[in-house]
Structure 1
């Protein structure tokens, strides 16, 4: 019986080694290649035509492919024959929901027992969707009662100005200078935006805004 071909992508060598060893302990799978950047991952997929790709959510990207939701969405769109299993440290409902919405076959938190990877692989190898057992961060009241569009609409004009510049890569102190506001005010407005969008880190903020085309 032909083995199921797998490509791995993660920028942490220890994670790669552990996942690779776990997968290969099951005789059903063959790890064809490992990648440490999004560019390397693209090359590996094109070269090996894997059945399954296991990729980290955040890893070194490049200007073309990026990482996070931008990378995952690109992968799903351009390689529809491949099933994608995403590894992440995130446990935020909105981000995890967005991953499944864009078409991944499963999401695994890096904190789980490595043996769970083979459980996930068996599920998606049969055409199923692996949901796992997530210990999700409780979203705010707004997250449970408001749609994404309502959360985005709740951002004020001044908060949107801060968010636009922050997403463009400007530092908060430079944003304060540009908008002629105090650094404390700008920091408070950014924090308010994150609360309204129900994200808990800059990475989640970027991912949310990429996915939902905010600003």
Structure 2
């Protein structure tokens, strides 16, 4: 079997360097390109025709294709052939379920270590698919409480908070998601109620504390 061509996307050069180093340990895989924005990623998919795309979930600053759910939807709609691995610290069950329903091939947790990328690529090469294990390990009482509250968020609420936590305004979030300001405000208020926070500062502190959107 020929080498599998892999295209990487992350807005952090150090992450790109680390992922490339891991992948190139195995001669069955070749990193054919790197991208640091969604637009660059889309351009290089068309040019390089990779077998596997490994992309960060959170790559802010790209108005054309966005990131998060908006980017994944675009990738699956316009590039159905390559397998897609998502790099993220997100653990929200509804978001992860939604990603798999869209047709991604796996989620690699940054907190669990990037070595799992090579496990996934090996599975693609030998079996054609990657079967992920469910996360294991006990949570502290505080973490468990936060996890329970986060699990109540819908995919749309989660995406609104993810963008809001980067420091942009509600109007900017509305523009990014192509929704009205009223809709975004309603989703944000609903999410805050579920998370039991009553102001923007408390919401941002919670997002940072939980390291939700790296």
Structure 2 CA distance for aligned equivalents of residues 120 and 95 of structure 1 = 20
Deviation at 1:167, TM superposition (A): 4.6
1:44 is matched with: 44
Structure 2 CA distance for aligned equivalents of residues 141 and 7 of structure 1 = 35
> SS of the counterpart of 1:117?
helix
Structure 2 CA distance for aligned equivalents of residues 18 and 141 of structure 1 = 33
Residues 83 and 104, structure 2, Cα contact 8 Å, conserved in 1: yes
The total of aligned residue pairs comes to: 170
Structure 2 CA distance for aligned equivalents of residues 86 and 5 of structure 1 = 16
Structure 2 CA distance for aligned equivalents of residues 49 and 191 of structure 1 = 41
Deviation at 1:63, TM superposition (A): 2.1
Question: Which deviates the most, 3-12 or 58-67?
Answer: 58-67
Deviation at 1:41, TM superposition (A): 0.3
Deviation at 1:141, TM superposition (A): 7.4
Larger radius of gyration: 1
1:168 is matched with: 171
> SS of the counterpart of 2:172?
coil
1:191 is matched with: 192
Q: Would you identify which runs of 4 or more consecutive aligned residues in structure 1 move more than 3 Å?
A: 135-139, 141-144, 166-170, 187-190
Structure 1 CA distance for aligned equivalents of residues 151 and 191 of structure 2 = 17
Residues 85 and 107, structure 2, Cα contact 8 Å, conserved in 1: yes
User: Residues 116-155 of structure 1 correspond to what in structure 2 (within 5 A)?
Assistant: 116-125=116-125, 126-134=127-135, 138=144, 139-140=147-148, 143=151
> SS of the counterpart of 1:25?
coil
Residues 149 and 194, structure 2, Cα contact 8 Å, conserved in 1: no
Deviation at 1:60, TM superposition (A): 3.0
Unaligned runs of 5+ in 1: 153-165, 171-178, 180-186, 208-215
> SS of the counterpart of 1:168?
helix
Structure 1's 89 and 6: CA in aligned 2 closer, same or farther, altered over 3 A? same
C-alpha RMSD of the superposition = 3.5
User: Residues 198-213 of structure 1 correspond to what in structure 2 (within 5 A)?
Assistant: 201=207
TM-score by length of 1: 0.66
Structure 1 CA distance for aligned equivalents of residues 116 and 68 of structure 2 = 22
Structure 2 CA distance for aligned equivalents of residues 122 and 142 of structure 1 = 32
Residues 22-76 of structure 1: CA deviation (Å, up to 9, x unaligned) = 0010111000000000011011101100000000000134222000011011101
TM-score by length of 2: 0.67
